[in-house]
Every structure is written in structure tokens, then in C-alpha cells.
């Protein structure tokens, strides 16, 4: 990093400016000013759309003080509106190249190439739009937190999504001039689920009505975020790559919250079934009378969140994706580890398509199938977590296996939009679908049952009946640690 300021030390987060950062904002008056001007609007947004009812609570949060592993996870109590949202990029590698596409082998770009300006701006805005959206979706959840531990994790995810918004807004201000400023404003104007000004992508306009939805969301939808960040981390536009690489370190915690969250729900259900001698997972009434969430409902939630998240990858065959790849803007998962020419002019990739009314794999030009490939990598990643949930069920001796539904199931985007299938991908007529929908997706009764369990449990060291305690505390804190100090009215 070239930086002459004595006050600025590479790798360390500079807290001397209003916006903590490791990009030398102290020497970049134009961008610092732009971000300072954006700041009040952000705080307004946070106060109205951030965690409802907890803005004066003291939350035990981690904050980055530097980007190296040691300086990163510093924990302390902080009131969320006072959280130091900052701009943090992974360290610059002077040798880094554009690693794929038509410009492969050039030095990575430190500025936006003119011909890719519009495409890059769009990629950054789409990514940026998802970050505040999830905070909006989770606005009410604190009130029904099943423990102070879970409440803290929710708020940690929320402040970090807020920081991810900052990360994208920094890029817009720094590299995109006036239209960047306008886009940064737009990111504060749209609202999840809003009729007139919705967020840009479907899954980010869905409700997150309960904590099982939250855990499913962080498992499935944040994982889409992870895959998108992974592919943007490959970008030939180096500032975007470095931004995404640091975001990924935060995203890992979100995956953890989702996977362990669902895992703890599964664990508690199995425990309660065993204790009551209720071994039949399909005896839903009996399991629900135990005050836990039955496994078939957890399967239906899985079907819902997985299918909504698959839609976020876009069409399987996509010219946009091909153009982004060819331009060196958005790569594949683990691009540099893949053993091929990274140009893909002749390569093929199998795409799951509807052929004569049946789902089949068809070889397509790999360049147009970039989305499909990323989605496949995503599915593999999801499968890992599903396997670990199944281990919990198996260990309890219950005969039930959670499964990812077919990629054809319940799709709103791509090859399978507009057809109805069972969760294993058998095509259904519209009437059959209407008759059988409740076998595959949560219905109103399922939602009402889960809602009935969502009672706050805020006593130190206590957990709501429907979820098992975690194996270890955050920052190795003991079981009765007060993760959130809520002022009593
Ligand atoms: Fe994020
Ligand atoms: Fe996230």
C-alpha cells in the first residue's frame, strides 16, 4: 500500500477518522467527506430498520481492530448505534493478476477500467443491496430471542451486514463518482418487502417471521452471499477483490450461526422425542405436544429456504454471467485452484434443464453456465451442513433423514420457473401441486405452531425449550454469561 501519512499504518485500522478504516481515508479527503455525509442517513436507517427495541442495550460484540487474525475478533460491550462500522480491505498483493477471462495475465486493476464501469457498478450495487435487506428482514427478531446468546449472535450478524453495506458504499464513493453517490443513496432508500421500493432480489423481500427462519436464512441465504463474495473476490478489479476477501471472514460466523442454530433445534427435538419415548418422527401432533419443532416441518423449512436461495444464482444459462467472466469481473468459486485455461472459449459444463418435460443434464458452453457452476458449488456446500444435521438425528437413534430438495423444486428463476414438482423433482400438474403443496412447503398451521414457540427467553444461561444450548460460548464465555445487557424499563 502506498501511503505517506505517518498516522496511517498498514494493516491496522485507523480510528482517528469518523469512519474507521484501513484504506488511508485520512489522506483521501474527498472520499472521507463523501462517507461522512452518507453517515447520518445510514444511522437513520439503522435506528429505524435495525434491531427493534435494543438500540440502548449493551451487546457483547466483536469488532475488527486490524485485519490480521489476532486483531480481528476483539470483543466488548457496545451499544449498537455506537458500533464503529468501518471500511476494511484485505491486504494488497502487488503481484496479483487478472486470473481469468479475456484479460487474463494482466496486472490486477487498481482503478475501474472504463469499458467495465457499468457492469462493475451493477455488481457492487446488487451485492450492496442484499446487506441492509437482511437487517430489515430480521428487524423484529430480538424480541423473541430464545436466549441472550442467540440474541447476541443475531445482533452480531446485523452489525456486520451493516458493515458490508459500508464496504460496498466505500467502493461506490471511491471509484464511481456521481453515479456512485446516487447508488449509495439508493441503498438506503429501498426496503425489504416494500411494495414501491423493494430490495433488488427476491429472497431478500421474503419475511423472516421466526427464529427457525432466521437460522435457515443464515444457513442457506447467507451462504449464497458467501458464494457471490467468493466469486467477486476473484475479480480483476482489485479493490473489490480485497473488500470481498475481508467480508468473507465475517461471513463465516453467519454460516456458523445458521448451521449450529438449525443443528440445536434438531438436537432439542430429538432429545425431547427420546425422553418421551416418541420415536415416530411423522407423529407430528405428538412431537409438537412436547413443545419442540417436528423434523418434517424442519424439512419443509429446508425446502423453502433452499429453493428461494437457488433463485439468487440467476438463470443457469446466462449471457450476463458469461460477460462478467469474460471481462474478468466475476470469477468462479476457487477460480485459481481450477485446472483449466480460465478462458473457457471451448469448454462445456453440464446444466440441469427441462427436456421433453423431464429434468435432464445438458452440456452447455461453460462460459454461459457460470451461474450453474457456482450454484453447484453452493449445493455441495449446503450438503455438508445437512450431513452434520443428519448425524445429530442418527446419534439419537431416530429414523429420519433431512434432504436438499431437487433444484427443480419451487423455483421462480431459470429453467424450472413455471413448472411445479415434488421435492424430489417429479413434475406435477397444477392441480396436483395445489393439492400436495403442504407436503413440501410450510403451511399456515406450521407457521402458527412455530410462532407459538417464539417466546423470549432472556435470563442469563437459560434457553427456550425448543432449542438446545450451544456447545461452547462466544469468546469462550461461560454458560451464564450476560451477552446482552437489556436496560429494564
Ligand atoms: Fe453480508
Ligand atoms: Fe451474512
Residue 258 CA to ligand 2 center (angstroms) comes to: 10
pLDDT, tens digit (0-9, with 9 covering 90-100), for 334-352: 999 999 999 999 999 999 9
Per-residue pLDDT reduced to its tens digit, 211-262? 999 999 999 999 999 999 999 999 999 999 999 999 998 999 999 999 999 9
Q: Give pLDDT tens digits for 99-126.
A: 999 999 999 999 999 999 999 999 999 9
Write the DSSP symbol of residue 486: P
Q: What is the pLDDT of residue 2?
A: 40
CA distance 416 to 412: 7
Distances (CA, A) of 228 to 7, 231, 319: 35, 5, 17
Which cell is 157 given? 450478524
Task: Give yes or no for a contact between 467 and 146, defined as CB atoms under 8 angstroms apart.
Answer: yes
- Grid coordinates of 294: 417436528
The CA 59 to ligand 1 mean position distance, Å, reads: 20
Q: Report the distance separating Cα 250 and Cα 447, nearest Å.
A: 30
| Under 8 Å between Cβ of 35 and 170 | yes
Q: Which ligand is nearest to the CA of 163?
A: 1
How far apart CA 173 and CA 183 sit, in angstroms, is 9
Q: Is a pLDDT exceeding 70 seen at residue 1?
A: no
The pLDDT value recorded for residue 17 is 87
> How many whole angstroms from 200 Cα to the centroid of ligand 2?
16
What's the rounded Cα separation, in Å, for the pair 58 and 378? 36
Q: Taking all residues of the chain, what is their mean pLDDT, rounded to a whole number?
A: 94
How far away, in angstroms, is 276 Cα from ligand 2 center?
Answer: 37
Q: Find which of 18-32, 78-92, 394-408 is predicted with most confidence, using mean pLDDT.
A: 394-408
**Taking a C-beta distance cutoff of 8 angstroms, is the pair 432, 231 a contact?**
no
Question: Cβ(198)–Cβ(192) under 8 Å?
Answer: yes
Q: How far is the CA of 420 from the centre of ligand 2 (A)?
A: 30
Residue 377, pLDDT score: 98
CA of 158 to the centre of ligand 1 (A): 9
CA angle (458 as vertex; 452, 459 as ends), nearest 5: 125
In terms of average pLDDT, the best of 16-30, 63-77, 296-310 is: 296-310
CB atoms within 10 A of CB 107: 13
List b or e across 30-66, with b for residues whose CB sees 16 or more CB atoms inside 10 angstroms. ebbebbeebeeebeebbeebbbeebeebbbbbbbbbb
Does the pLDDT value for residue 397 go beyond 90? yes
Distance CA 175, CA 124 (A): 11
Nearest listed ligand to the Cα of residue 229? 1
Distances (CA, A) of 176 to 25, 120, 183, 468: 16, 10, 9, 47
Structure confidence at residue 57 (pLDDT): 97
pLDDT tens for each residue of 35-45: 999 999 999 99
Biggest CA pair distance of the chain: 71
In this predicted structure, what is the pLDDT of residue 15? 86
Helices (H) and strands (E) in the chain — how many of each?
A: 14, 7
Beta carbons of 279 and 290 less than 8 angstroms apart: no
Average pLDDT of the segment spanning 175-179? 94
Residues with CB under 5 A from ligand 1 (ion): 131, 161, 164
Per-residue b or e along 404-442, where b marks 16 or more CB atoms closer than 10 Å to that residue's CB: bbbbbbbbebbbbeebbbbbebebbeeeebeeeeeebbb
Residue 14 confidence class, pLDDT cut points 50, 70, 90: confident
Whether 5 shows a pLDDT value over 80: the answer reads: no
How many C-beta neighbours within 10 Å does residue 369 have?
Answer: 26
pLDDT at 489: 63
Tell me: the pLDDT tens digits for 146-172? 999 999 999 999 999 999 999 999 999
Task: Measure 243 CA to ligand 1 centroid, in angstroms.
Answer: 11
Q: How confident is the model at residue 70 (pLDDT cuts 50, 70, 90)?
A: low
Q: 3-state class of 421 per DSSP? A: strand
Q: Which of 247, 215, 255, 253 is nearest to 230 (CA)?
A: 247
* Helix ranges, 200-237 (H): 211-216, 222-232
d(CA 163, CA 131): 8
**Cα-to-centroid distance, 485 and ligand 1 (Å):** 25
CB 483 within 8 A of CB 148: yes
- Asked whether 123 and 197 are in contact (CB, 8 A), the reply is no
State whether residue 112 is helix, strand or coil: coil
420-462 tens-digit pLDDT = 999 999 999 999 999 999 999 999 999 999 999 999 999 999 9
Instruction: Give percent of the chain with pLDDT exceeding 90.
Output: 90
Amino acid at each position: 500500500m502506498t501511503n505517506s501519512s505517518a498516522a496511517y499504518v498498514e494493516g491496522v485500522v485507523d480510528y482517528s477518522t469518523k469512519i474507521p478504516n484501513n484504506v488511508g481515508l485520512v489522506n483521501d479527503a474527498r472520499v472521507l467527506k463523501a462517507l461522512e455525509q452518507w453517515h447520518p442517513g445510514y444511522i437513520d436507517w439503522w435506528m429505524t430498520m435495525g434491531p427493534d427495541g435494543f438500540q440502548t442495550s449493551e451487546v457483547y460484540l466483536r469488532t475488527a481492530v486490524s485485519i490480521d487474525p489476532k486483531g480481528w475478533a476483539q470483543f466488548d460491550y457496545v451499544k449498537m448505534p455506537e458500533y464503529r462500522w468501518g471500511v476494511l480491505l484485505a491486504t494488497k498483493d502487488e503481484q496479483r493478476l487478472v486470473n481469468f477471462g479475456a484479460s487474463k495475465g494482466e496486472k490486477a486493476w487498481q482503478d475501474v477500467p472504463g469499458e467495465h464501469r457499468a457492469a462493475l457498478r451493477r455488481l457492487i450495487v446488487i451485492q450492496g443491496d442484499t446487506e441492509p435487506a437482511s437487517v430489515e428482514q430480521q428487524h423484529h427478531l430480538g424480541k423473541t430471542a430464545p436466549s441472550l446468546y442467540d440474541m447476541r449472535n443475531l445482533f452480531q450478524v446485523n452489525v456486520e451486514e451493516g458493515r458490508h453495506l459500508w464496504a460496498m458504499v466505500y467502493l461506490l464513493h471511491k471509484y464511481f463518482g456521481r453515479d456512485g453517490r446516487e447508488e449509495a443513496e439508493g441503498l438506503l432508500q429501498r426496503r425489504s418487502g416494500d411494495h414501491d421500493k423493494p430490495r433488488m432480489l427476491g429472497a431478500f423481500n421474503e419475511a423472516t417471521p421466526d427464529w427457525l427462519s432466521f437460522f435457515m436464512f443464515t444457513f442457506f441465504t447467507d451462504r449464497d452471499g458467501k458464494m457471490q463474495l467468493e466469486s467477486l473476490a476473484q475479480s480483476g478489479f482489485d479493490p473489490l477483490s480485497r473488500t470481498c476477501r475481508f467480508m468473507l471472514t465475517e461471513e463465516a460466523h453467519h454460516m456458523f450461526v445458521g448451521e449450529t442454530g438449525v443443528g440445536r433445534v434438531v438436537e432439542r427435538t430429538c432429545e425431547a422425542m427420546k425422553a418421551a419415548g416418541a420415536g415416530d418422527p411423522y407423529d407430528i401432533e405428538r412431537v409438537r405436544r412436547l413443545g419442540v419443532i417436528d423434523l418434517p416441518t424442519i424439512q419443509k423449512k429446508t425446502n423453502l429456504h433452499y429453493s428461494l436461495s437457488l433463485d439468487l444464482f440467476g438463470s443457469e444459462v446466462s449471457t450476463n454471467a458469461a460477460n462478467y467472466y469474460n471481462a474478468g469481473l466475476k470469477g468462479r468459486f476457487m477460480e485459481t485452484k481450477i485446472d483449466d485455461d480460465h478462458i473457457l472459449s471451448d469448454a462445456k459444463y453440464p446444466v440441469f434443464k427441462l427436456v421433453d418435460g423431464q429434468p435432464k443434464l445438458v452440456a452447455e458452453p461453460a462460459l454461459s453456465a457460470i451461474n450453474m457452476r457456482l450454484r453447484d458449488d453452493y449445493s455441495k456446500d449446503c450438503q455438508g451442513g445437512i450431513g452434520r444435521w443428519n448425524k445429530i438425528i442418527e446419534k439419537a437413534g431416530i429414523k429420519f433423514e433431512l434432504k436438499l430438495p431437487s433444484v427443480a423444486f419451487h423455483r421462480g428463476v431459470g429453467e424450472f420457473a413455471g413448472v411445479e414438482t415434488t421435492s424430489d423433482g417429479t413434475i406435477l400438474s397444477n392441480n396436483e401441486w395445489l393439492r400436495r403443496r403442504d407436503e413440501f412447503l410450510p403451511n399456515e398451521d406450521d407457521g402458527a405452531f412455530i410462532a407459538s414457540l417464539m417466546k423470549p427467553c432472556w435470563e442469563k444461561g437459560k434457553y427456550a425449550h425448543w432449542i438446545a444450548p450451544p456447545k461452547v460460548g462466544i469468546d469462550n464465555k461461560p454458560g451464564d454469561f450476560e451477552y446482552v445487557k437489556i436496560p429494564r424499563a
